[in-house]
A and B are shown apart, each in its own frame.
Chain A
Amino acid sequence: MSTRDLFTFSNRHFSIGVGVTAAILIVTAIAGFVVLPFAQPWVQFAGVWDAICSAAGLPQRAPKVIAPEQGKRLSEVVLTSGTLSRPSQEAIGRGATLAQRCAICHGPTGISRADSPNLAGQYAAVIYKELHDFRSGARTNAVMSPFAVNLADEEIADLSNYYAYLPRLPAYHPTPQLPKPNIVIYGAPMRGIAPCGSCHGSLDNKTGSPWLEGQSEAYMKAQLKAFASDERHNDISQQMRNIARAMSPQEIEAAAAYYASQPPDIVKAVD
């Protein structure tokens, strides 16, 4: 007997094998695409074909649903690996020239003497995102917004690359290093707070999250409070706002004091 005799309905094994498989498939398909969709009283279908399309996973436009009005501008920055990869020396040089206007607050070496963020050695993606947000109005600040509003895309990229290129220097007034508080290392699982350290350094660093070691304590506290009160809202999907709202005042103090006391040279290097 050759395979030619196998693939014919006169062969019992073939007809039973194919028949049973097809029957199971048809029965499960009818159950999955017709019976079960209609068994859900909370879902309304226009007809059988509508139910089949829904069960097949065909994307459908929801009718008569108006997107909620968005009162505030949200961040529109998309970061991909290609956004800021491999800056040229010229780009960094242009950034250095542009950065002269930033030095009044952020310091001539990127280390602030005025409770503004230290930018020396900050991840390029972070500066890139914040400048874009200041420019678009997703983040506002009486001092920063006017500086950002006239920047071109290339200038933002150059500034980001310049500050990322600078060496990470100690803070202007270094304080003794504090031990890690629970909020940084464990978060607060009962209140849905992930550990600060899982994105901002000490445990791990994630794309778009700044490292915080040696930053101004006053600045970090102010930002957490701004997130909590919705005054700052350029975090995607409210990830920082949800955390800041759930944090206790003591936790905000502890996290800010801890990060301010850390030397920035422990920050994980970027490739």
Chain B
Amino acid sequence: MLVNRKLILAHFWLAFGVFGVALTLGAWQMFIRSPIGTWLSNPELYYRSLTAHGTVMGYVFPTLVAMGFGYAIAESALEQRLVGVRWAWTGFWLIVVGSVMAVIPIALGRASVLYTFYPPLIGNLFYYLGVVLVVVGSWIWVALMSINLRVWRKAHPGAPVPLAMFANVAGSYLWAWTAVGAALELLLQIIPVAAGLKNTIDAGLARIFFSWTLHAIVYFWLMPTYIAYYTIVPRAIGGRVYSDAMARISFILFLVVAMPIGMHHTFADPQVGAGFKFIHSAFTALVALPTLLTVFTICASVEIAARLRGGRGMFGWIRALPWDNPMMLALAFSFVMLGFGGAGGLINMSYQLDTTIHNTQWITGHFHLIFGGAIVIMYFAIAYDLWPHLTGRELVDIRLIRTQLWLWFIGMIVTTFPWHWVGILGMPRRMAYFDFSDPAIAPQALSVTFSVIGGFILLASGIMFIIILARGMRAPQADAGAYRFALAVHQPTTVPVALNTHALWVALMIALTITNYGYPILNLATAAGTSVPAVYVGAQ
């Protein structure tokens, strides 16, 4: 029952519009620092572009996708009208205003601080205020998801919450709590300095606050993808979810262990004790668990579809899968990229192995493969799946959709594999240019050139994606019917209260945040002499 289609479409169009702009900037950045581009002679322009790319891709794009998809789930899975539509529009417009407010200082070169903020580097105040507005807008969505579920529960006492909504609300709670870290950093540390009230900043403490956000935010980006794995893919390929309970366990595990692990981003930071680094490293290893559970459950669900289609044998069923179905294709590509990206992630989270690749292009390769690859390709799939229900028109370009997904997959592999490789060779990340005529790095020129080609394949695929959606708005009208989610093999009739509510898991998430972050934050906040003078962007 999709009633507020305009609201959902507005979120998706804004998300994909800004995605297109940021994607173009990304391709340009790759070109300009590669051996085939001519050096700009102005690194500031590069960092300006990099800040815009990161801010849009990290804060605006995935948040809008999660919000739009969340509203769609709330209406179609709960089969009730969205409560708080006006608030939802308020949240949307806060994000619009926040994005514009953040982008103007970036474009003027007043906020080239990258999306990770990098204190003591300080940019224009309005950049930070813009980011705050985006986060506040998304918190409205968090509240609405919670309220809508509550309204549904009242009308259906004791009934199992539909899996899609259960996962969606888990994702929204994860986001609400993980965004607190960056919010504390902005409000307590950066904004007072950017506003001129202070001119020193505790950069070490600020980095710890940011690590609170920076890792769990990835799992927030991942949530729509995982929801699509469990609740869209099996239905789209004619199968069933292997286990509803396993799916719920995966989502609550994300809620509990995605949060207290962010310090694996600060392994090289001297202000954090080695004991806490170890705990965070160990908990990061645990986060592989829900992903492995998911891979198992989804492979089993897909096998069910294959066997229903007449697939036989130990592996012979794989051939019986509907490989011409874009959803099948997207899932397979997503899993391959998740596999490679996840394997790389195991290296990043290991204290000792991390030292070999810390701050190199390996890291850039890793998070592009996971986020840009495994996650974003499922965002495409979600949009393709929802579009006919949102527009009331059929998406007719199935061949084009398949080409687009193939190109994204190939482009992402060609972009990120060479990045991993040059990272192992020691190429640092966040560099505006490299002198490839220097014999020390000349051998890396070929790998970097390949990755630029990958970047342009991605750009082509992104443009195709937007064209497909735009053409879908003008296709002949067709009734797509009600929007449905996948059913489980054993559709639950009763679910234990622990797997039907989030309270216990949210409590554990907060408790682990306190145990794993409490002391390091308190220690740094109370230590004297840890502040350094702020470095203002553009000041001499």
Residue positions of A touching B, CB distance < 8 A: 1-3, 5-7, 11, 13-14, 17-18, 21, 24-25, 28-29, 31-33, 36-37, 52, 54-59, 78-82, 123, 125, 185-186, 189-190, 198, 202-207, 209, 211, 268, 270-271
Cα of A198 to Cα of B42 in the assembled complex, Å: 9
Stretch at the interface among B50-58, B213-221, B406-414, B433-441: B433-441
A32 pairs with B275, CB closer than 8 A: yes
Question: 11 interchain pairs (CB within 8 A)?
Answer: A3-B501, A6-B497, A6-B501, A24-B283, A24-B286, A32-B279, A57-B271, A81-B534, A203-B41, A205-B540, A206-B540
Quick check: which of B23-31, B443-451, B503-511 contacts chain A, the rest being far away?
Answer: B503-511
Closest to B110 in A: A271
Which residues of B are found within 8 Å of A32, using beta-carbon distances? 274-279, 282
- A17-B498, A32-B279 known, 20 other contacts, Cβ within 8 Å: A13-B497, A17-B508, A21-B512, A28-B278, A32-B276, A36-B274, A36-B275, A55-B273, A58-B273, A80-B534, A82-B199, A125-B540, A185-B41, A189-B435, A203-B43, A204-B43, A205-B540, A207-B535, A209-B540, A268-B540
List the A side residues contacting B435 at CB < 8 Å.
Answer: 186, 189
Closest to B536 in A: A81
A270 touches B540 (CB 8 A): yes
Number of A-B residue pairs at CB separation under 8 A: 134
Query: In the complex, what's the smallest C-beta–C-beta distance from A258 to chain B, in angstroms?
Result: 14
> Do A55 and B275 have beta carbons less than 8 Å apart?
yes
CB-based contact B256/A24 at 8 Å: no
What are the residues of chain A within 8 A of B155 when measuring CB–CB? none
Instruction: Confirm or deny: B538 has a beta carbon within 8 angstroms of a beta carbon on chain A.
Output: yes
Across-interface contacts of A11 in B (CB, < 8 A): 497-498
Instruction: Name which of B132-140, B227-235, B519-527 contacts chain A.
Output: B519-527
Closest to A188 in B: B438
CA distance A59 to B64 in the complex (A): 42
A221 to chain B, nearest CB (A): 24
With most chain B CB atoms within 10 A of its CB, the pick from A5, A25, A58 is A25
Q: Chain A residues near B279 (CB, 8 Å)?
A: 25, 28-29, 32
Are A57 and B276 within 8 A (Cβ)? yes
B515 within 8 A of A: yes
Chain A residues, CB < 8 A from B274: 32, 36-37, 54-55, 57
Q: Which residues of B contact A14 (CB under 8 A)?
A: 498, 504
A5 touching B41 in the complex, CB below 8 Å, given contacts A21-B256, A32-B275, A78-B533: no
- Once bound together, how far apart are the Cα atoms of A185 and B435, in whole Å? 10
Say whether B129 faces chain A, with CB atoms less than 8 Å apart. Answer: no
What is the chain A residue whose CB lies nearest that of B507? A7
Query: Which B329-366 residues have a C-beta within 8 angstroms of A?
Result: none
Residue B539 is within 8 A (CB to CB) of chain A in the complex: yes
Question: Which residues of A have CB within 8 Å of B196?
Answer: 81
A13→B278 contact, CB < 8 A: no
The interface bits of chain B over 285-314 (1 if a CB of A lies within 8 angstroms of the residue's CB, else 0) are: 010000000000000000000000000000
Bound-state CA distance A125–B539 (Å) is 10
B42 touches A203 (CB 8 A): yes
Q: If A6-B503, A189-B440 touch, does A31 touch B497 (CB 8 Å cutoff)? A: no
Interface residues of B in 130-162 (CB under 8 A from A): 158
Closest to B515 in A: A25
A17 to chain B, nearest CB (A): 6
A31 to chain B: which residues have CB within 8 Å? 278, 282
A223 and B527 alpha carbons, distance in the complex (Å): 40
| The residue from B42, B282, B534 contacting A24, defined by CB atoms under 8 A apart | B282
Give the CA-CA distance A54 to B278 in the complex, in Å.
Answer: 13
Q: Distance in Å from the Cβ of A158 to the closest Cβ of chain B?
A: 19
Closest to B269 in A: A57
User: B496–A13 contact, CB under 8 A?
Assistant: yes
Q: Which residues in chain B, 485-499, are within 8 Å of chain A measured between CB atoms?
A: 496-499
Closest chain A residue, CB of each to CB of B509: A21
Which residues of B lie under 8 Å from residue A270 when comparing CB positions?
Answer: 539-540
Query: In the assembly, what is the distance between CA of A31 and CA of B534, in Å?
Result: 38
Please tell me which one of the listed residues A52, A79, A190 contacts residue B275 in the complex, with CB atoms under 8 A apart.
A52
Any A CB within 8 A of the CB of B397: no
User: In whole angstroms, what is the CA distance A17 to B498 when docked?
Assistant: 10
Contacts of B44 in A (CB 8 A): 204
CA separation between A246 and B511, bound complex, in Å?
53
B273 in contact with A57 (CB, 8 Å): yes
Interchain nearest-CB distance for B499 vs A (Å):
7
Segment 150-201 of B: residues with Cβ below 8 Å from A: 158, 196, 199-200
**Which residues of chain B are within 8 angstroms of A185 by Cβ–Cβ distance?**
39, 41
B473 interface residue per 8 A CB criterion: no
The yes or no answer to B272 lying at the interface (CB within 8 A) is yes
Q: Which residue of B lies closest to A55 (CB)?
A: B275
Contacting pair B43 A33 (CB below 8 A): no
Please measure, in the bound complex, the distance between the C-alpha atom of A54 and the C-alpha atom of B275, giving whole angstroms.
Answer: 8
Whole-angstrom distance from the CB of A150 to the nearest CB of chain B? 28
Inter-chain contacts of B277 with A (CB < 8 A): 32
